[in-house]
Amino acid sequence: MDRSIFLLVLWLVSKAQLGQSQIDVLRLTSAVYEALGPSLEAMQKDIKTIKNDIVIVKNDIASLSHRVDNLTEEVQQQVVPQLARVQSFQTALESSINESRNELSRVNGIISDLGGHLQTHSQQTTSAVAQVDTRLSSLNESMRDDFSGIERGLSGLNSTANMICDKIKKLPVYTCGGTGGWRHAVYLDMTHPNTSCPSGWQLFTENSKTTCGRVSAARLTCDSVFFPVSGGPYSQVCGRIRAYQWGLALAFHYSDVDGVTIVHGSPEQHIWAFAAGTWENYPGNGSNHCPCDDNNLLYKTIPGFIGEDYFCESGYVYPGYRNDTLDFKLHSDDVLWDGESCHSTSTCCSFHDPPYFTKTLNQTTSDDLELRMCLSRSISYNNIAVELVELYVK
């Protein structure tokens, strides 16, 4: 009851002149209410608040129930079909596993049977291999003898092939600029038995070398030999001369050369010169050495008619001092004009790429080829020993 209402009732009672006992009861009641009134009011407020909270909870429960209903429906729509598919896949997987187990069992049976067969065949194979090995050993011994004979035959064939190749490489098509059409004009090879020197040169033998040398004994003389050229006119000459140095040649001197020159016609037209120097590696300056010797700074001037058309080599390595016993003999260890065995300071082996030269003449001619052997000193001082002359024209 509200306090104001209670006081109003109490006043009305007092006005109605109630009995004393009733008044006391009312007063007691008023006192109790005065004492408990604030607590009762607080309790009323709490009860009201609780009622409001209950309403809110009811609303939340209703909203949650609605959400649960929606979630349940979503689970039924999405999750349940997925679970059904998973169950179907699980069933298929179990079936596949069972089939694989059955297949594995069959394979194990096959392997077991195969192992037995392999063991049997292995024993048979071992026996067969032993028989084959025995036969191969016997065959190897037989073939070794056969191959030895074949190898000897191939070795001889290879030697013959190399000899043929060497001969082919000496053909003028290889040695004269790589073109054809060349024909022999001069061929003199003193290494062949019973070969004689041409008229104008004389036979010269020393150190088991048979060669052709000068006839004239005096200094500043030339001895010529002539070779007619058959087959018609020519305008090119190619070839080589192989010789040895006797004594001390003087390379170029005065108006000529110590060595052999090839000329044609009258007056003489120069084709090529083969000059011989005194020493190959003379350490000082000297006028009697080849211009291509790097140590030589004072060589005599090359005659104008020779120009650059020459080879120059020395067949004698400087011994370190003058010695008549060493100097005046046939120096057969080093062939002249072959483009080999030159000293490291010399360029003579590469100048014009010896041993073969090729020269194009100023005009076509049918002249004989003249080979002039000229020397500046007497025959007791120097000589040129020619072993091979090989000339081609076209």
DSSP of 272-306: EEEEE-S-SS-SS--TTS-TTBTT-S-PPPPPTTT
> 145-154 in b/e burial notation, b at 16+ Cβ within 10 A?
eeeeeeeeee
Amino acid 385: pLDDT? 97
Residue 23: the pLDDT is 65
352 Rama class: left (phi>0) / alpha (psi -120 to 50) / beta: left
CA distance 298 to 317: 18
Tokens coding 217: 């004994």
Q: What is the pLDDT of residue 91?
A: 82
Q: Give CA–CA dist 318/345, Å, rounded.
A: 13
198 upstream amide cis, omega within 30 of 0: no
- From first to last of the 394 residues of the chain, give the pLDDT tens digit: 555 555 555 555 555 555 566 666 567 666 666 766 677 677 778 788 888 878 787 877 777 777 767 777 776 777 677 777 877 877 877 777 777 777 777 877 777 777 666 666 667 667 766 676 677 666 666 666 665 666 666 666 666 656 655 555 555 656 787 778 999 999 999 999 999 999 999 999 999 999 999 999 999 899 999 999 999 999 999 999 999 999 988 888 767 899 999 999 999 999 999 999 888 877 666 667 888 876 655 566 788 899 999 999 999 887 777 777 778 999 999 999 999 988 887 888 899 999 999 999 999 999 999 999 999 899 999 999 999 999 999 9
Q: Within the chain, where are the H helices? A: 3-15, 20-169, 172-175, 324-327
Q: How confident is the model at residue 89, as a pLDDT?
A: 76
pTM of the full structure: 0.59
Q: What is the pLDDT of residue 169?
A: 53
- pLDDT value at position 46? 75
CA distances in angstroms from 305 to 29, 271, 275, 339, listed in the order given = 170, 10, 14, 23
